[in-house]
Amino acid sequence: MNYNSFDNTGLVKVLTFLKTHNTEYLSGQDLSDVLHISRVAIWKHIKKIQELGYTVESKQKIGYKLIENSDLLLPWEITSNLKTKIIGQKAYYFDTTDSTQNQALKMAGDSTNDGAVITASKQTSGRGRSGRKWISPKGGIWLSVILQPKFDISIATLFPIASALALSIALEKIFSIKPKLKWPNDLTIKEKKIAGMLVDASLESNKIEKLVLGVGINFNVNVKQIEKSLKGTQNFYGAYSISDQKKNIKPISLVQSFLVELEKVYELLNAKQTKNIIDEWTLRSSTIGKEVEINTGDVKIKGKAIKIDDEGALIVENDKTHRIIAGDVIHLSK
C-alpha cells in the first residue's frame, strides 16, 4: 500500500488522539463523539492503524489504548512536528517499490513536490552509485528527497558529501553513534558501510533544475544476507547494521533529525557557504591522511589523500598532485 502525508486525515486524527491519550483506554463511542467520525469509521481506522504496525490494545467494552508506535517510515510521522521549512514537509510512503529514487524522479516534475521525501519499506531494484545495485530489504531506511537547488553545478559534487555529513551529525545527536565519513559519500563503522548517498540531477543550460538525493541506511538489516548478495561486487567492502550497536531503536527520530540537518547544509550550499561543511566533513573523515587507491573507472591512482577542495573533489598526492571528482576509494593504510 502507498500513503502520503496530506490524505488519510481521518486515520491521522484517530492516531493523534490515541497518541495524546495513551495512558487510558478510549471507547469507540468517545472517539466517535470527540472526533466527529462514525463508530464504524473509527473501527476501520483502528484496524488500519494496527495493520500499519502500531500496537493498539483493544479491550472489549472498555476501548482502545496505543501501546507502541510503528517501525514504518509513514508519511504523517515524517511531517509531524518536523522543524524544517521545505525538506520533508510533504512525504510519500511505499510499502514496496522498485526504487524510491525512480519514484522521486517521476514526481520531481510537479513543482509542489519541492522538498518532498519518499520512503519505502522495501525496494526491489534499489540503485547504488556507479550503476551498482543496492540491496534494500525490510528494516533499512530507504528514502529519496526531491530538491530544486539554487546552487550551481560547480557545487553539486559537494551536495552528497554535505548530505553524508548531515546524516553523521543526526546519528551522533540521536543515537550517540560517531560514524566515519569515507570519500565521497559513505558512512562507516569499523570500516564497514552503514549508509550511502546517491544523487540524480537534471540540468538545464548548465543550471541544476531538479536534484534527487537517495539515502540508504543499513538500520536494522541482516548484514550476512547483504554480504552474501554483494560479495565480489566492485567496491563492496562490507556492511554494518546500526541495530548491531543499538538495540530496540525506532528509525523515525533519526530520519527527522537527518532532514533538519540536511536542510541546514542545503541552505549553506544555496548561500555558497562551503567552508564549514568542508571543515566538519574533514574532521569526521576516515579518508583524509590515508594512503589510498582510487579507481576512477578509467585509471587507478595510488597516493596520499590530502584534502577535499571547495567543490568536494579529493586531492591525492604521489609524485604529482591529482584532483579526483568521482571514483571508488580503497584505504591502504590504517
Footprint of ligand BTN (CB under 6 A): 99-101, 123, 126-129, 132, 134, 136, 142-144, 186, 196-198, 214-216
Choice between 11 and 257, CB closer to ligand BTN: 257
Q: How far is the CB of 159 from ligand BTN (least distance, A)?
A: 13
Residue 329 sits at φ, ψ, to 5 deg, of -110, 135
Residue 15 sits at φ, ψ, to 5 deg, of -60, -45
Q: How far is the CB of 172 from ligand BTN (least distance, A)?
A: 20
Q: How many residues does the chain have?
A: 334
Q: How far is the CB of 221 from ligand BTN (least distance, A)?
A: 12
Choice between 230 and 277, CB closer to ligand BTN: 230
Can you list the alpha helix ranges (DSSP code H) found in 136-191? Answer: 153-156, 158-175
Choice between 78 and 215, CB closer to ligand BTN: 215
Q: What is the CA radius of gyration of the chain?
A: 22
Instruction: Give SS3 for 53.
Output: coil
Query: What is the Cα–Cα distance from 187 to 168, expressed in whole angstroms?
Result: 7
Contact of 95 with 80, CB cutoff 8 Å: no
Q: How far is the CB of 287 from ligand BTN (least distance, A)?
A: 14
Q: How far is the CB of 158 from ligand BTN (least distance, A)?
A: 16
User: Is 60 buried (19+), middle (13-18) or exposed (0-12) by CB count in 10 A?
Assistant: exposed
Contact of 143 with 116, CB cutoff 8 Å: no
Choice between 75 and 216, CB closer to ligand BTN: 216
Choice between 37 and 108, CB closer to ligand BTN: 108
DSSP 242: G
61: left (phi over 0), alpha (psi -120 to 50) or beta: left
Q: How far is the CB of 96 from ligand BTN (least distance, A)?
A: 13
Choice between 29 and 296, CB closer to ligand BTN: 296
Q: Which residue is nearest to ligand BTN (CB)?
A: 196
Q: How far is the CB of 101 from ligand BTN (least distance, A)?
A: 4
Query: What is the Cα–Cα distance from 11 to 8, expressed in whole angstroms?
Result: 5
Choice between 144 and 241, CB closer to ligand BTN: 144
Choice between 144 and 168, CB closer to ligand BTN: 144
C-alpha cell at 206: 548548465
Query: What is the Cα–Cα distance from 295 to 7, expressed in whole angstroms?
Result: 47
Q: How far is the CB of 102 from ligand BTN (least distance, A)?
A: 7
CA distances from 318 to 292, 315, 322 (A): 10, 10, 8
